[in-house]
Homo-oligomer: A and B are copies of this chain.
């Protein structure tokens, strides 16, 4: 176990490095933080911290920088979550309150997060499978052509075209619409498959094919692959990283373009509470020099999706965590109201 002072030294190193972006030496440390001991003592502590793997030197005769392990300890034990100030909270609320629909909420959230944290923001759309059905609408566009529109309690809307095997009358359509809604309205999407399983049986033989087609299209839209969407923003903040660019920024941009990667990233994060994944803790290689701070958000107590930011491992963790938490909270409120 590390002594109290050594932890303080580590904390000081992280804070200074995050601020200056430069390796920090023993002398500078004692000057900026009054640790009450001499540089020599700090050097000894640093040697220990280095042995333990919490810090490293880029080369002999340079200062130390925290390792991923060092950041991990910092986040877990040494730093709290810095709460937003009252004006900041007010600004968040005002900004989000102006949204007109779900797309707008998500877009605003992304911008907000990016601005607050000065990093790349990622916001997942509310998951379909974890939402409840508000309404299913069926529209007849042509005798054998139906449009299926799904609306969730979080305001998300999905639509699909369905080509029917046989013409389908207006009356049958109204019938199907009514029966479908009475079964699934207000229920969780995850339960829909069981709820509609035996629905075709109540219909005339000639309509059953169409009913089944409609239902299977409905179920398809719930498949994981289609259901997850997300929005990102603040990529311009990547240019603040370091000045060793292309190598750093390239794989990050690539990762951000691959929604699959991002979704996996968010998926791996814990389901409740805030998750911080530091450097190599991220499975995806391109993100090995970045940290991801994410948290679930939802209209009720339950999380319907996640949001977070991606930034350099050298980031202001307390501030970032505070911003992420605050934004998630307000987005949840907004969704609950709509």
A residues in contact (CB < 8 Å) with B: 100-101, 103, 134-135, 137, 139, 141, 147, 149, 151, 155, 157-161, 220, 226, 229, 233-236, 238-239, 243, 245-246, 249-250, 253-254, 256-257, 338
For A141, A149, A233, A234, the residue with the greatest tally of chain B CB atoms inside 10 Å of its CB is A149
Are A257 and B243 in contact (CB-based, < 8 A)?
Answer: no
Number of copies: 2
Q: Which residues on the B side are within 8 Å of A338 (C-beta)?
A: 161
C-alpha gap A151/B146 in the complex (Å): 13
Are A141 and B149 in contact (CB-based, < 8 A)?
Answer: no
Q: Which residues on the B side are within 8 Å of A256 (C-beta)?
A: 235-236
Query: Is the contact region of chain A dominated by helix, strand, or loop, or is it mixed?
Result: mixed
Are A137 and B149 in contact (CB-based, < 8 A)?
Answer: yes
C-alpha gap A229/B102 in the complex (Å): 14
Are A139 and B147 in contact (CB-based, < 8 A)?
Answer: no
Q: List the B residue with the shortest CB-CB distance to A141.
A: B134
Q: Which residues on the B side are within 8 Å of A157 (C-beta)?
A: 149, 157, 159
C-alpha gap A159/B153 in the complex (Å): 13
A253 touches which of B238, B245, B250 (Cβ 8 Å): B238
Instruction: Give, as a whole number of angstroms, the nearest-CB distance from A186 to chain B.
Output: 11
